[in-house]
Amino acid sequence: MALKLALVVLFLIPTLFPMFWIVVSSLKSNAETHTLPVTFLPTEWVWENYKEVFERRNFGRYLFNAATVAIATTAWGVLVAAWSGYGFARYDFRFKPAIMAFVLVAQSFPRILLIIPYFQFANRFDLKDTYIALILAYSTFIQPLCLWIMKEYFEQIPRELDEAALVDGASPYRAFWDIILPLARPALGATAIIGFLTAWNEYEFALVLTSTERVRTISVAVASFIGEFTTEWNLVMAAAAIATMPLVIVFLFFQKQLMHGLTGGAVKG
């Protein structure tokens, strides 16, 4: 046990060190971030940095936007993936292998090149600077992976269960919704986490598809502290900490459910 714990600590140190360094740097004065030799703890703890970050940018709004987009992406993206994943798992039809193959391969196209088509798409449908544009983009990104995860999981669920429901006169949709979906909770958990993190973390599309702070998400706000003439690393780090802390807290709070979702529901080998 002692050996195991020692190994855990050994791996945890490099894993968490950047987080530690973000927090330490965020509490230094700007001058101290540029003082040699480098100090491992702030000589003076400048908590005002966090206040300043909130004053300079509307961080509350950015966090709210990020949460809205992430939750909606998770809900919509996962629902679509589950719905269609069920179709792929339970029915055979022409082109199915080709479609499934394409689904997997399609995510190999560089996302950078999707930015302009999405921007044009958002313009055409009057979706520019809206949550919907971002949610659609992110739901598309998570679609391939989540679709595969859901399909694989549904295939593990015995077909007898839906057949029994169908014999009882339920429609396949009802069988899916009432019988199968609740059983797939672990896989839903896994895909939900992937969806949430994708939407929360994404930068380039958030930059291009939004133009005001009404919709703009947290990662753009963090990047905005890297300036033309100056980069105040203490504020950059404070912004990074603010952007990350809510997720860490949520994960810690719901660790049981989330980890169960992740580990119980991810792709079956």
Partner 1 sequence: MPKGVTRRDLLKTGAAAAAGAAVAAGAALVPNAASAAPSPRRAPYVRRQETVTLRFMTHNTLEKPAGDVLKEMIAEFEAENPNIKIQLDEVPNADVLTKLTAYAEGNDLPDIIDGQFGLSSFISLNAALDITDRIDAEGLRDSFIPVALQAAMDSEGRILGMPLYTGTDALYYRIDHFEEAGLDPNSPPRTWDELVEVAKALTNPRAGRYGFGMYGKTHTQRVIHFMQNNGPDGEMLRLDRESGIWTILCNSPDSIGAVQYLVDLALVHKVVPPNVVEMDYPANVSAFAGGNISMLTTGPWGAQTFIGTNPELEGKFAVAIHPTPDGSTPKLRQGSLVYAIGRTTKYPDEAFKFLKWIAHDRQSYFAAKAGYGPTTKAALEDPAIAEDPFLSVFLEQSLTAVVEPYEVELPEWNRIKDLFDPEWQAALIGDKDVTTAMNTAAQHFKDVLGDRAELKYPVS
Partner 2 sequence: MSTTTTQSVAATAQAPARRRTKARIHPFLFVLPSVVMLVLLLVLPIGQAFIDSLRVDGSWSFDNYVRAIRRDHLARIAIKHTFIFAAVSVAGQYLIGFAVALLLNERLPARGLIRVLFIVPWMFPAVVPGIVWRWMFDGLYGVINEVLYRIGYYAETDPPIAWLGQTSTALPATIVANIWRGFPFIMVLLLAGLQAVNSELYEAAAVDGANVWRRFWDITLPAMLGISYVALLLAWIGSFMNFAIVQVMTAGGPANSSEVFATLIYKNAFLYADANYAATLGIILLALLMIPGALYVRSTLNKGHA
Residue 25 contact partner, candidates partner 1, partner 2, none, CB within 5 to 8 A by sort of partner: partner 2
Assess 75 for contact with partner 2 (CB under 8 A): no
Site stretch for partner 2 (CB under 8 A), options 29-37, 47-55, 177-185: 29-37
Cis peptide before 37 (omega within 30 of 0): yes
Beta carbon nearer to partner 1, 199 or 215 = 215
> Which of the residues 209 through 268 are near partner 1 (CB under 8 A)?
211-213, 220, 223-224, 226-233
Assess 43 for contact with partner 1 (CB under 8 A): no
Select the residue interacting with partner 2 from 71, 114, 179, 183 (CB under 8 A): 114
How far apart are CB 258 and partner 1 at their closest, in Å? 32
90-94: long-range contacts (C-beta < 8 A, 24 or more apart)? 90/154, 90/159, 90/162, 90/172
For residue 269, CA distances in Å to 151, 156, 195 come to 13, 11, 21
Select the residue interacting with partner 2 from 49, 65, 73, 219 (CB under 8 A): 219
Assess 201 for contact with partner 1 (CB under 8 A): no
Select the residue interacting with partner 1 from 39, 64, 104, 123 (CB under 8 A): 123
- ∠ CA 87-93-95, nearest 5°, is 105
Cβ contact 235:225 at 8 Å: yes
What sign does the CA torsion over 38, 41, 43, 49 have?
A: positive
Assess 265 for contact with partner 2 (CB under 8 A): yes
Select the residue interacting with partner 1 from 50, 83, 119, 177 (CB under 8 A): 119
For residue 51, CA distances in Å to 20, 25, 54, 94, 227 come to 20, 15, 5, 59, 19
> Which of the residues 81 through 100 are near partner 2 (CB under 8 A)?
81, 83-88, 90-95, 97, 99-100
- ∠ CA 6-42-9, nearest 5°, is 5
Residues near partner 1, by CB under 8 A: 30-31, 33-37, 115-116, 119-120, 123, 128, 204, 207-208, 211-213, 220, 223-224, 226-233
